[in-house]
Structure 1
Amino acid sequence: MTACAIEPSAAPGNDGPPPAGCSITADGAYAARLARRGDCWYPERWTLDGPEPYAVPLPGNQPEEPGTEVQPMGDGRVLVHRVAAGRHFFSLLYPTGPGTGELPLGAVECPPDTTVLRLLPPAPGGERAYALATGFRSTVLWQVSGGAFGPERLAEIPGRCSGGVWLDRTGRILAVDRETDGRTKAVVLDLERDGEVSPLLQIAADSDDRLLLADPDSGLVLIRSDAPSPGQDRLGWGVLGSTLPVRFPQCLRLPDCVVTPFAIQPGQALTPERCAVALRVDGALGSWVAVWRPDERRVRHLPAPAGWLTGAGLWTADGELRLPCATPQSPCGVARLPAPPDAGSVRTREGKAESSPPAEPPAPAPEQSPAPGVEDASEVTEPDAPAPSPPRPVPLQQAPLARLVTK
Structure 2
Amino acid sequence: MTACAIETPSTGAEDGGTGCALTADGAYAARLALDGDSWFPERWTLDGPEPYAVPLPGNQPEEPGTQVQPMGDGRVLIHRLVERRHVFALLYPTGPGTGELPLGAVECPEPGTRFTLLPPAPGGTRAYALAVGARSSVVWLVAGGAFGPERLAEVPGRCSGGVWLDGAGRMLALDRELGGRTKTVVVDLEHVEVSPLLQIAEGSDDRLLLADLDSGLLLISSDAPSPGRPRLGWGVLGSTLPVRFPECLRVPDCTVTPFAIQPGQVLMPENCAVALRVEGEFGGWVCVWRPAERQVCHLPAPEGWLAGAGVWTRDGVLRLPYVTRETPCGVAELTVPRGEAGVPRDTGPAGAVPDGTGGGVPEASREAPEPGPAEPVTARPVPLQQAPLGRLVTK
TM-score > 0.5 by shorter chain: yes
> What is the alpha-carbon distance in structure 2 between the residues aligned to residue 269 and residue 162 of structure 1?
28
Percent of pairs with identical residues: 68
The yes-or-no answer on 1:110 pairing with 2:94 is no
1:282-313 superposed Cα distances (whole Å, 9 cap, x missing partner) = 11111111111111111111121111111111
The yes-or-no answer on 1:129 pairing with 2:127 is yes
The yes-or-no answer on 1:235 pairing with 2:232 is yes
Which structure 1 residue ranges, 5 or more long, are not aligned? 1-5, 13-18, 347-354, 366-377
The yes-or-no answer on 1:388 pairing with 2:386 is no
Cα drift, residue 272 of structure 1: 0.7
Q: For 1:251, which of 248, 251, 275 is the aligned residue? A: 248
Q: For 1:214, which of 208, 211, 214 is the aligned residue? A: 211
- 1:368 corresponds to: none
Contact 1:260/1:281, CA 8 A, preserved across alignment: yes
1:30-68 superposed Cα distances (whole Å, 9 cap, x missing partner) = 111111100011001111222222211111010000110
What are the within-5 Å matches in structure 2 for residues 58-207 of structure 1? Answer: 58-194=56-192, 196-207=193-204
Q: For 2:296, which of 294, 299, 302 is the aligned residue? A: 299
Q: Secondary structure at the match of 2:122?
A: coil
> What is the alpha-carbon distance in structure 1 between the residues aligned to residue 40 and residue 182 of structure 2?
36
1:122/1:199 Cα in 2 relative to 1: closer, same or farther (>3 Å)? same
1:20/1:234 Cα in 2 relative to 1: closer, same or farther (>3 Å)? farther
1:144/1:406 Cα in 2 relative to 1: closer, same or farther (>3 Å)? farther
Cα drift, residue 242 of structure 1: 1.9
TM-score of the aligned structures, taking structure 2 as reference length: 0.88
> What is the alpha-carbon distance in structure 1 between the residues aligned to residue 195 and residue 247 of structure 2?
30
Contact 1:291/1:340, CA 8 A, preserved across alignment: no
Contact 2:28/2:70, CA 8 A, preserved across alignment: yes
> What is the alpha-carbon distance in structure 1 between the residues aligned to residue 279 and residue 374 of structure 2?
34
Q: Secondary structure at the match of 1:148?
A: coil
The yes-or-no answer on 1:277 pairing with 2:281 is no
- 2:5 corresponds to: none
User: What one-letter code is carried by the residue in structure 2 that aligns with 1:239?
Assistant: V
1:205-252 superposed Cα distances (whole Å, 9 cap, x missing partner) = 010000000000000000001000111010000111222110101111
Contact 1:31/1:72, CA 8 A, preserved across alignment: yes
1:257/1:324 Cα in 2 relative to 1: closer, same or farther (>3 Å)? same
Moved more, 275-284 or 297-306: 297-306
- 1:46 corresponds to: 44
1:356-403 superposed Cα distances (whole Å, 9 cap, x missing partner) = 4664344559xxxxxxxxxxxx9x9955235423112x3x2xx22436
User: What one-letter code is carried by the residue in structure 1 that aligns with 2:332?
Assistant: A
Cα drift, residue 178 of structure 1: 0.3
> What is the alpha-carbon distance in structure 1 between the residues aligned to residue 321 and residue 222 of structure 2?
29
Q: Secondary structure at the match of 1:221?
A: strand
RMSD between superposed Cα atoms in Å = 2.4
> What is the alpha-carbon distance in structure 1 between the residues aligned to residue 369 and residue 297 of structure 2?
21
1:226-281 superposed Cα distances (whole Å, 9 cap, x missing partner) = 00011101000011122211010111111211101000010001211111100000
Contact 1:114/1:133, CA 8 A, preserved across alignment: no
- 1:315 corresponds to: 312
> What is the alpha-carbon distance in structure 1 between the residues aligned to residue 135 and residue 249 of structure 2?
34
> What is the alpha-carbon distance in structure 1 between the residues aligned to residue 177 and residue 72 of structure 2?
32
Contact 1:117/1:131, CA 8 A, preserved across alignment: yes
1:79/1:38 Cα in 2 relative to 1: closer, same or farther (>3 Å)? same
1:296/1:340 Cα in 2 relative to 1: closer, same or farther (>3 Å)? farther
User: What one-letter code is carried by the residue in structure 1 that aligns with 2:249?
Assistant: L
Contact 1:90/1:104, CA 8 A, preserved across alignment: yes
> What is the alpha-carbon distance in structure 2 between the residues aligned to residue 299 and residue 385 of structure 1?
16
User: What one-letter code is carried by the residue in structure 1 that aligns with 2:70?
Assistant: P
Cα drift, residue 27 of structure 1: 1.3
Alignment length, in residue pairs?
A: 369
1:389/1:283 Cα in 2 relative to 1: closer, same or farther (>3 Å)? same
> What is the alpha-carbon distance in structure 2 between the residues aligned to residue 80 and residue 167 of structure 1?
24
Q: Secondary structure at the match of 1:273?
A: helix
Contact 1:118/1:133, CA 8 A, preserved across alignment: yes
User: What one-letter code is carried by the residue in structure 2 that aligns with 1:282?
Assistant: E
The yes-or-no answer on 1:286 pairing with 2:283 is yes
User: What one-letter code is carried by the residue in structure 2 that aligns with 1:46?
Assistant: W
Contact 2:293/2:369, CA 8 A, preserved across alignment: no
Q: For 1:400, which of 371, 378, 384 is the aligned residue? A: 384
Contact 1:288/1:304, CA 8 A, preserved across alignment: yes
- 2:4 corresponds to: none
Which structure 2 residue ranges, 5 or more long, are not aligned? 1-9, 354-359
1:401/1:335 Cα in 2 relative to 1: closer, same or farther (>3 Å)? farther
The yes-or-no answer on 1:341 pairing with 2:341 is no
